[in-house]
Amino acid sequence: MVQRLERAGLRSEILPTAGHPAVYGEWLQAGADRPTVLVYGHYDVQPPEPLELWHNPPFEPAIQDGRITARGVSDDKAPLLLTVQVFGAYLQTLGRLPVNLKVLFEGEEEVGSAHLPALVREQAARLQADMAISADGGMWSADFPSLTVSGRGLTALEFSVHGPASDLHSGRHGGALHNPLHALAAIIASLHDAQGRVAVEGFYDGIAPLSEEYRAGLRTLPFSDEEYLKFTGAAATYGEAGYSTLERQWNRPTVEVNGMWGGYTGEGSKTVLPAQAHAKLTCRLVPGQEPRRIRRLLEDHLRRATPPGVRLEFAPGEHAARAYQLPEGHPARRATLQVLQDVYGQVPLEVGMGGSIPILETFQEVLGVDTVLFSFAVGDENIHAPNEFFRVNRLYEGQHAWVRLLWALGEGLPPQQGEAHG
């Protein structure tokens, strides 16, 4: 990354952290009258497993039918790489950028950016900027340009249920000791009620109801449950009673089990009463929910839900981010909408995001800047799953849009041609 940034014409260096290092780059010769823009992205990727479901090896990219398939190509390598190509193109053609540029590419986004807040605090003076733009994020649909105006927060929790000291024969002992798998199932089942609501006490406290105006706006978006089910292959939508699919994705919090395991999971049969069972949970959060408070409520619930005869143990580690909301008056909001309209010839939609980008909160708290998400990934590109892909045409559209956005931020927008809505 450092070499790529240097080749593009930025001064660059590695910023060590207690985990994977971050990469910093800068070009600050646009002049004091030009804004300073901090560009964010991440070079790390999710684990590629399960490997057997990939059509090509996950780290040997294949191009077919206008798609590049590889782990990380959509989240976040291609969206990040195209920004570097734009910086280089400016510096190699005009010999300058329209703005003062700072770049921060991290290596721990997929594990909750655990060490980045400390780094940003340590480097706060150097990272000072007028606004942040993220190459991570992703558009809602391949058919409609969009600006993401909200994202859900996150808290994560891994725990184990311990029963006997070692695995026992389930014929000999079954029925006489609590099976940690039974206990785990009961605990997980207790997290939701029959209406799909989270049953953790206090979980929904402090969340403002959705306005009728907002909900009406959502209903005008080009989205149908039918198409969504076709895309995901699920048999039916399912979730918190009283909310639409988009509301459930963007505006309502969740408790989600990401992994659960215990006992014998290989081929054939093994009649074991296992010593342990495990689960990994994440909560998606909305404005009004403080991640640490939610984690504490969840821990309390899990303790109360643990039946006699087994013991609960929480894995160490925090992984938390508040929900995100792009302010109406953000300095890049109007420019972003205009550039998308110019590149795509369509009025962009303003949409929510179910996922989380923890670093946005740190930029807000430490640097005092809000972040615009300006990624050319799309929500259907199998991120975090086998056969992650990125559309080749979006490499070009993304470069085009970033060239225009930096220009608009530095040189100003041309006279306004239309108004974004959605």
Count other C-beta atoms under 10 Å from residue 33's C-beta: 6
Closest separation in Å from C-beta 104 to a copy of itself: 22
Calculated CA dihedral for residues 330, 336, 341, 342, nearest 10 degrees: 130
Q: Which residues between 273 and 302 bind a copy of itself (CB under 8 A)?
A: 273-275, 277-278, 280, 282, 284
Is there binding between residue 59 and a copy of itself (CB under 8 A)? no
Is there binding between residue 265 and a copy of itself (CB under 8 A)? yes
> Applying CB under 8 A, which of residues 32, 216, 235, 241 lies at the interface with a copy of itself?
235
Q: How far is CA 89 from CA 45, 92, 93, 101, 271, in A?
A: 26, 5, 6, 14, 63
Q: Which residues between 174 and 193 bind a copy of itself (CB under 8 A)?
A: 174-179, 181-182, 184-192
Q: Which residues between 358 and 377 bind a copy of itself (CB under 8 A)?
A: none
The nearer residue to a copy of itself, 177 or 392, going by C-beta atoms, is: 177
Is there binding between residue 311 and a copy of itself (CB under 8 A)? yes
Q: Which residues between 337 and 356 bind a copy of itself (CB under 8 A)?
A: 353-356
Q: Which residues between 71 and 130 bind a copy of itself (CB under 8 A)?
A: 110-112
- Strand ranges inside 296-415, DSSP E: 311-314, 320-321, 324-325, 349-353, 371-373, 389-391
Cis peptide before 76 (omega within 30 of 0): yes
Is there binding between residue 228 and a copy of itself (CB under 8 A)? yes
> Applying CB under 8 A, which of residues 121, 385, 393, 412 lies at the interface with a copy of itself?
385
Angle between helices 180-189 and 291-305 (to 10 degrees): 130
Closest separation in Å from C-beta 315 to a copy of itself: 10
Is there binding between residue 53 and a copy of itself (CB under 8 A)? yes
Closest separation in Å from C-beta 313 to a copy of itself: 12
Across-strand partners of 23?
14, 105
Cis peptide before 50 (omega within 30 of 0): yes
For residue 304 the two structure tokens come to 């109360």
Closest separation in Å from C-beta 353 to a copy of itself: 8
Residues 253 and 334: their CA atoms lie apart, in Å, by 29
Closest separation in Å from C-beta 31 to a copy of itself: 39
The nearer residue to a copy of itself, 13 or 299, going by C-beta atoms, is: 299
Given a contact cutoff of 8 angstroms between Cβ atoms, the answer to whether 347 and 341 are in contact is yes
Which residues 6+ apart lie within 8 Å of 269 measured at CB? none
